[in-house]
Structure 1
């Protein structure tokens, strides 16, 4: 895409500690699990400078879809491992339990990040598809994003999105929670 910001900040690493956010990776997931038996959270966002993107409009959309796409690929890989579990008797049961958790958490992260609420990835994708005269919607969403996120997490997510996540989990893995 043309932006070296993540590289300069040492974020091009598979070390998970470089990507954890204290509130989003530990505190919020624990709180949402206790409140709704669902896990919501986030890692540190990957830093980028939109001015360095070769094509700003579509570059923002591609940056925005990269996270959910990575979640989707993880879901597919671990979902296939769970589906073929009966043929992999050499692996311990704990491997499959952790794989199920990986699928469940990544399904939730993918669904959450696709919401068009700034600063979530879905807002960048939405912005690329909105006509220029509707770009003000993004500014309104940014102004109220904290409150929209709270309403979404505590009221909309458990009622509408968690059942979808549970259905997709069963569809992908062949298991139920």
Structure 2
């Protein structure tokens, strides 16, 4: 991929990726605060200021590397918002709602992007110079938000799906699953490297994304 194509791809994907990963984390902190834990608020993480959320590796290097390699879509993550589950009103139950907040936010953003795409393509054709980049950004937003929604629902700690599973499972099983968390990131990297996640969730992500886009644009 030449440098112009890389710059063009970054210009289309940068804002949707930043909004998707930042609002995902803010949602965790906001719901935790409503349920009794103000750790994220105290640490200044319930904010849209990207500086507070940027992780050099997950927010910059991974998306940039994917763009350079010509990946069909970009992916990234922000610094996790700190949550002290012991401070929640009902730790086991409320853990589920805090974890769900991120993926649900991404789903809502994907739906909002679909609606925005429908509005963009109704603009007068004289505004073609703004219609195309906005339409591409809306489509990028749909894809990245569905990636984050579905990927994070995998029932493996420390992903949100893992925390949801820990909250739903009975005590002994929840404890056994929670013990995986220190090794969770390494397991995720290994499964990504082996292509397991791509083959399992890839069709779900692209299928749901293209279905939403297809509601607005003919495919």
TM-score (norm 2): 0.72
2-11 or 143-152: which moved more?
A: 143-152
- Please say which of residues 67-76 and 44-53 is displaced more in the overlay: 44-53
Runs of 5+ consecutive residues of structure 2 not aligned to the other structure: 1-34
Query: What does the per-residue CA deviation read over 1:40-66, in whole Å, with 9 as the maximum and x for residues that have no partner?
Result: 321111111111100101111111000
Alignment of 1:136-175 (within 5 A): 136-154=175-193, 155-174=195-214
| CA distance, structure 2, for counterparts of residue 88 and residue 158 of structure 1 | 36
2:76 aligned partner:
41
Q: Given that residues 113 and 139 in structure 2 are in contact (C-alpha distance below 8 angstroms), is that contact kept between their aligned partners in structure 1?
A: yes
Flag as ranges the 4+ runs of structure 1 deviating above 6 A: none
What displacement does 1:141 show?
Answer: 2.2
Structure 1 equivalent of residue 158 of structure 2: 119
Q: How far, CA to CA, are the matches of 1:100 and 1:48 in structure 2?
A: 32
> Is this contact kept in 1: 2:166–2:175, CA < 8 A?
no
Residue in 2 that maps onto 1:20: 54
Cα contact 1:170–1:176 (8 A) shared by 2: no
User: Residue 107 of structure 1 contacts residue 169 of structure 1 at CA under 8 Å; is this kept in 2?
Assistant: yes
- Asked if 1 retains the 8 angstrom alpha-carbon contact of 2:166 and 2:178, the reply is no
Instruction: Give the C-alpha shift of residue 135 in structure 1.
Output: 2.1
| 1:140 Cα deviation from its structure 2 partner | 4.1
Q: How many pairs were matched up?
A: 177
User: Is the contact made by 1:114 and 1:121 (CA closer than 8 Å) also made in structure 2?
Assistant: yes
Matched, 1:68 2:103: yes
TM-score (norm 1): 0.88
Structure 1 pair 53–16 and aligned structure 2 pair: CA distance change class (3 A): same
Q: Spell out, residue by residue over 1:121-150, the C-alpha distance to the aligned partner (whole angstroms, 9 max, x if none).
A: 111100111111212332442243133201
SS at match of 2:180: helix
